[in-house]
Amino acid sequence: MIRPPRRPASDKTYQGPQMTIVIMATLDVAPALRAQFLTEADPLIEEALAEDGCVEYSWGADHKNPARVNVFEQWRDEAALRAHFAAPAYSTMVGLLQKAGMTAADARKYRVDLIEPVYDPQGQARADFFTA
């Protein structure tokens, strides 16, 4: 069995009424401008990561599509996400995307009621939710 190395653990196992929100998005920009966009976006990504309630905020170049940027965000709750949408960094990011020639976007949000590790204490990958 191959088990990937673990990052330093924060307690991400969670169950309860306060639901985490995950956003997954794909954004297509002009291929010639993608690298510059990601460089210019980096300070805004750092600002988002510092916002109260931001658990994860990652933007990266797709390894197969030269126009695509993949986005993964995780927020503690709706209030944190609402505050993010009202923050100046959010509107600045929208402007950067327009400058980079954004041609398509598909962004979806998900409410999560249970978060737990993929690997159980024995190092076995599990498809079921085994801590609930």
pLDDT of 53 > 90? The answer is: yes
Domains plus CATH for the chain?
17-112 (3.30.70.100)
Q: Which residue has the higher pLDDT, 46 or 15?
A: 46
**Alpha carbons 127 and 97: distance in angstroms, whole number:** 36
The amino acid at 52: D
Give the CA distances from residue 37 to residues 13, 55, 60, 99, in Å, rounded to whole numbers and listed in that order: 34, 23, 10, 8
Which pLDDT band holds residue 113 (cuts at 50, 70, 90)? confident
**pLDDT band of 17, cuts 50, 70, 90:** low
**Edge-first strand listing for the sheet containing 104-115:** 54-61, 68-75, 14-28, 104-115
Residue 131 confidence class, pLDDT cut points 50, 70, 90: confident
Burial bucket for residue 27 (CB in 10 Å: 0-12, 13-18, 19+): buried
